[in-house]
Amino acid sequence: MRQVAVVGVGMTKFGVSEKSELEMFSEAAMDALNESNLKPKDIQALFLGNAVGGLTEGQTIIASHAAAEIGLQGIPATRFEGACASGTMAVRDAFMWVASGYYDVVLAAGTERQTVTGTAFATRIMNTGAHSFYESATGITFPGMFAMMAHMYCHKYGIPLEKLKKQMAMVAVKNHKMGVLNPKAQFRKEITIEDVFNSMMIASPLQLYDCCPISDGAAAAVIASADVAKKLTDKPAYIVGVGQGCAGGLSTQRDYTRLIARESSAQQAYQMAGLTPQDIDICELHDCFTVAEIVATEGLGFFDFGDGGAAVERGDTQMGGKVVINPSGGLKSKGHPVGATGVAQVYEIVNQLRGSCGARQVEGAKIGITDTMGGPFASVGNIILRRGW
């Protein structure tokens, strides 16, 4: 397999947008192409992450329409759907097609517009990611799933619930602090632990500020062979490892603190890259709820199981810590337009490796990993990137 690099990235501001999914895609895609010094005619395939556009905007076969929006008629255009992991799946497949030698240049992107739905419909739409036969009928929602994760975590490791709640609040405070420094973030306001504790209860022990928002946005990345990349940029970010894992519904998973899909996917990515968790400088991971960040840092191998919350208290995940987690602000502060999130994580890692993140720059970052999870812990994808200069 050939070496593969990201040569250009683009991203809209996340939050509430008046633009359609296709319009947001076009903005991010053209930014990525312009940064790559490429024209639409140079793209050989489009892989697009989009989870629920058929429900929110009534738009299916969105990849073909997206290709036409920026003059890519005639090429293969494929939509990827893995709930919140949709964008990562698009990047992973783009990498594999280029690595195989079949394509030299592929555009991977993600787009989603959800704020138009309102809370009730958005909840119903998101719940289509649960197992429709065994889970949806019970009324379980994603806040409920992660609330169960939190309670199971406390029970398994003997951690008092109030202690975990403080650790989760510290995750929220950290990510909002980073979001202030990200001009493309949805929430650019610092919060305190007291703000978290005073926010409304959503699904005990998760309170409002433990939860990521509903968001609109798009992101894109141009994926090219190393030979092509050397002609286009002097700062390529090489994709050195990818992984993807799956699991069934909640009823098939006995331990919500040890996610089968994540551990399988991460192992694939580390093995392909020839790296270990200790080699990672920076991580953009799926903090859809604050407890999810704690559990993910353990599943990715950064900390021992049961130690993720204590690591937050020690400052191990902050700037200057053992591994910097979510310098973009994460889903919690940056926002979470489902189909775009995985590609937006790649956008952040690429810019961190280039040293172009300004006040939120992680000094000396050379290797980064993304982690995106979709559904009831059912689909996880990981991308490892390293500096190419």
Enzyme catalytic residues: 84, 336
Do the Cβ atoms of 295 and 145 come closer than 8 Å?
A: no
Amino acid of residue 376: P
How far apart are the C-alpha atoms of 292 and 140, rounded to whole Å?
17
How far apart are the C-alpha atoms of 9 and 349, rounded to whole Å?
10
Do the Cβ atoms of 32 and 9 come closer than 8 Å?
A: yes
DSSP state of 63: H
How far apart are the C-alpha atoms of 369 and 230, rounded to whole Å?
22
How far apart are the C-alpha atoms of 259 and 187, rounded to whole Å?
29
How far apart are the C-alpha atoms of 93 and 239, rounded to whole Å?
12
DSSP string, 174-215: HHHHHHTT-TT-S------HHHHHHSPEEETTEEGGGBPPP-
DSSP state of 302: S
DSSP string, 12-57: PPPB--SS-HHHHHHHHHHHHHHHHT--GGG--EEEEE-SSHHHHT
How far apart are the C-alpha atoms of 61 and 67, rounded to whole Å?
11
Place of tokens 């062979």: 225
> Which residues contact residue 123 at a Cβ distance below 8 angstroms, ignoring those fewer than 6 apart?
141
- Cα 247 to chain centroid, rounded: 18
Return the exposure string of 327-359: e unless at least 16 CB atoms fall within 10 Å of the residue's CB, then b. Answer: bbbbbbbbbbbbbbbbbbbbbbbbbbbbeebee
Q: How many residues does the chain have?
A: 389
Tokens of residue 362, six digits = 């992680």
How far apart are the C-alpha atoms of 85 and 10, rounded to whole Å?
18
